[in-house]
């Protein structure tokens, strides 16, 4: 992101695998953190610690200084499940069946790829935009 500062925007869409224990609750937790202005901070903590059970997520909320009772209430009430489900429906509509899947200015990149591949696609997209 820093390499392309000012020229690249990242948009995160949820695509929790339905048979994994904590995929959906983790996605919902980021949305619960988002309404309190800490989406990316929660995202980073999850990526760093890898523990995604309910207690760990509440621990991250505490660490980030969120309103924990609200976070907990919304998580337990599955308030943000419809948002996660809408992203899943979109992914299925686009025939995406694997995570991570990336779309860079319309170009699809499936799976974890070397950074060079991302540079190649981003540079191509930038060149195309500059030509227009």
Partner 1 sequence: MKKILIFLLLFLGTLTQALARDSVIVPIGNSATLGPTNAPVVMFEFLDFQ
Residue with Cβ nearer partner 1 (71 or 96): 96
What are the two backbone dihedrals, phi and then psi, of residue 61, each rounded to the nearest 5 degrees?
A: -60, -40
Angle at the Cα of 76 from the Cα atoms of 71 and 82, rounded to 5 degrees: 90
Q: CA 128 to CA 132: how far, in whole Å?
A: 7
Binding footprint of partner 1, residue count (CB under 8 A): 53
Q: Which 8-state DSSP code applies to residue 84?
A: H
What residues numbered 113-132 form the site for partner 1, per CB under 8 A?
118, 122, 125-126, 129-130
Question: By the criterion CB under 8 A, which residues form the site for partner 1?
Answer: 1, 4-17, 20-23, 26-27, 30, 34, 39-40, 43, 46-47, 52, 83, 86-87, 90-91, 94-96, 99-108, 118, 122, 125-126, 129-130
């Amino acid at each position: 992101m820093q390499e392309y500062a000012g020229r690249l925007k990242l948009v995160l869409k949820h695509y929790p695998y339905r048979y994994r224990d904590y995929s959906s609750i983790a996605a919902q937790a980021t949305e619960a953190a988002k309404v309190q202005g800490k989406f990316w901070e929660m995202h980073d903590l999850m990526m760093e610690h890898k523990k995604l059970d309910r207690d760990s997520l509440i621990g991250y909320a505490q660490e980030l200084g969120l309103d924990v009772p609200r976070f907990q209430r919304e998580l337990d009430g599955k308030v943000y499940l419809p948002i996660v489900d809408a992203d899943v429906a979109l992914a299925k509509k686009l025939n995406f069946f694997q995570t991570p899947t990336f779309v860079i200015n319309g170009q699809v990149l499936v799976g974890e790829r070397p950074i060079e591949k991302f540079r190649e696609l981003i540079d191509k997209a930038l060149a195309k935009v500059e030509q227009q």
